[in-house]
Amino acid sequence: MKVLLIGSGGREHSLVWKLNQSDLVSELTCLPGNAGIAEIANIVPIKAHEIEKIIKHVILKQYDFVIIGPEQPLALGIVDKLKDIGIKVFGPTQSAARLESSKEFTKKLCSKYNIPTAKYGVFDNLKDAKSYIKKMRAPYVIKADGLASGKGVVLPETLDGALKELEEIFSGKFGDASSKVLIEEFMEGQEASFFAISDGVNILPLIAAQDHKRAFDGDKGPNTGGMGAYSPTPVFNEEIQKIVMNKIIIPTVEGMAADGTPYVGILFAGLMITNEGPKLIEYNARFGDPECQVLMRRLKSDLMDIFLKAEEGNLDAIKELIWSNKPTVNIVLANNGYPGKYKNGSIIKGIEKANSKNEIVIFHAGTKYNENNNICSAGGRVLNVTSQADTLNKALEKAYEAIDNDIEWDDGFCRRDIGYQAVC
């Protein structure tokens, strides 16, 4: 099968790496890809949000199957457009992708189907938002309704801070994403990312991972797209998974179908494991990044077969997936300054040396080749050093060894405490 994957991050590099192991895939292309993806697949220089260009390219190249990595093309309706021209595609339609692209949509679904989540109010004007927040307790949770590249959530500690944030948001801080604002109750607990795949009716549970969202050690600094992940995670045991499936995932898939927007694709539940049980923080309509990279290293089953069966509505033909039980970590190497301003174009060496170690697989994110054919930085998150070993400590030791001894890059940084919640 001729397969096209859309995206350019570490998530997509790990998906390409896994899809290449499938006998069902004869030719794999990624757009726009990155320097690492270019080593193992064809790449095409079209950006993921350039929907019309993508459609023309798909028609020209006659792909058999298209897989969507990031949220932006989903929210722009790429799946609907590909289906309209008869192309098989894995991912939710624009209206099903509202599970990620509109927080209000998801909150309403939760209310309608009794799915546990934080209490909330939605506001389209500053006055009402301010009077609601005055009745809440610190810390405050304020969210832009639409997609804001992971930056649309603020957690002020004081009422003054919260009121100031509201003023800034209603003055357009998050652009179009902030015409509506959600104010939520703060949920206390540990976070986990859980993934399931649905064909609209049937559900195939995957596994959970834990992400590290803050930029610096000890969960300090600004929120990022994610600075590292590990799996399995002790916070998410079999019992929690059962509750999450019964109270969150199954009612969501059934509710979406009952409401006429069946969900086909990856369902990524961001969860807070509270004392009252797991609650939904948010849904994403795609794999998590950096979580996907650890999932792909643990997955032993054929990924293409899963995507195909989901698209066909035959997911029930897969009885169970096979996973490695070995602890797996992903340490993100980010550009100095990320998630704020950073500079691109510095040369990175030693990736091959690191990759030659048994435990290690490096997935590229923001990388490209410069004019002298050197790999250089081209984004905020730049490399993902994944490592798998018999124990979590060993996996971490090997990953940090690769970062310290093999990879040569002066302009990057990483967190040194990935997996701290699980290290004995």
Interface with ligand AMP by CB under 6 A: which residues? 118, 141, 153, 184, 186-187, 191, 213, 270, 281-282
Q: How far is the CB of 288 from ligand GLY (least distance, A)?
A: 4
- Tokens 């089953």 belong to which residue? 301
Given the complex with ligand AMP, which of 178 and 377 has the nearer CB atom?
Answer: 178
CA torsion sign for 306, 312, 313, 316 is negative
Query: Residue 141 touches which of ligand GLY, ligand AMP, none (CB < 5 to 8 A by kind)?
Result: ligand AMP
Site string for ligand GLY, 209-238 (x = CB under 6 A): --x-------------xx------------
Given the complex with ligand GLY, which of 211 and 359 has the nearer CB atom?
Answer: 211
Query: Residue 184 touches which of ligand AMP, ligand GLY, none (CB < 5 to 8 A by kind)?
Result: ligand AMP
Q: How far is the CB of 357 from ligand GLY (least distance, A)?
A: 25
Query: How far is C-alpha 218 from the chain's CA centre?
Result: 22
* Bridge partner list, 242: none
Query: Residue 191 touches which of ligand GLY, ligand AMP, none (CB < 5 to 8 A by kind)?
Result: ligand AMP
Three-state SS for 240? helix
Report the site for ligand GLY in 50-69 (rule: CB under 6 A).
none
Site string for ligand GLY, 270-299 (x = CB under 6 A): --------------x---xx-x--------
Query: Residue 291 touches which of ligand AMP, ligand GLY, none (CB < 5 to 8 A by kind)?
Result: ligand GLY
- Whether the Cβ atoms of residue 348 and residue 409 lie closer than 8 Å to each other: yes
Q: How far is the CB of 131 from ligand GLY (least distance, A)?
A: 31
- Whether the Cβ atoms of residue 383 and residue 367 lie closer than 8 Å to each other: yes
Dihedral angle, C-alpha 240, 241, 246, 248, nearest 10 °: 90
Three-state SS for 382? strand
411 binds ligand GLY (CB under 6 A): no
Given the complex with ligand AMP, which of 64 and 191 has the nearer CB atom?
Answer: 191
- Whether the Cβ atoms of residue 217 and residue 194 lie closer than 8 Å to each other: no
Residue 97's nearest CA partner among 134, 69, 71 is: 71
Q: How far is the CB of 40 from ligand GLY (least distance, A)?
A: 22
Dihedral angle, C-alpha 405, 408, 409, 415, nearest 10 °: -20
Given the complex with ligand AMP, which of 210 and 261 has the nearer CB atom?
Answer: 210
- Whether the Cβ atoms of residue 224 and residue 339 lie closer than 8 Å to each other: yes
Tell me how far apart the alpha carbons of residues 159 and 136 are, in angstroms, rounded to a whole number. 9
Q: How far is the CB of 314 from ligand AMP (least distance, A)?
A: 32
Query: Residue 226 touches which of ligand GLY, ligand AMP, none (CB < 5 to 8 A by kind)?
Result: ligand GLY
Tell me how far apart the alpha carbons of residues 149 and 152 are, in angstroms, rounded to a whole number. 7
Q: How far is the CB of 81 from ligand GLY (least distance, A)?
A: 24
Count of alpha carbons within 13 Å of 133, Cβ hemisphere only?
30
Query: Residue 369 touches which of ligand AMP, ligand GLY, none (CB < 5 to 8 A by kind)?
Result: none
* Bridge partner list, 29: 4, 42
List contacts with ligand GLY (CB under 6 A): 150, 211, 225-226, 284, 288-289, 291
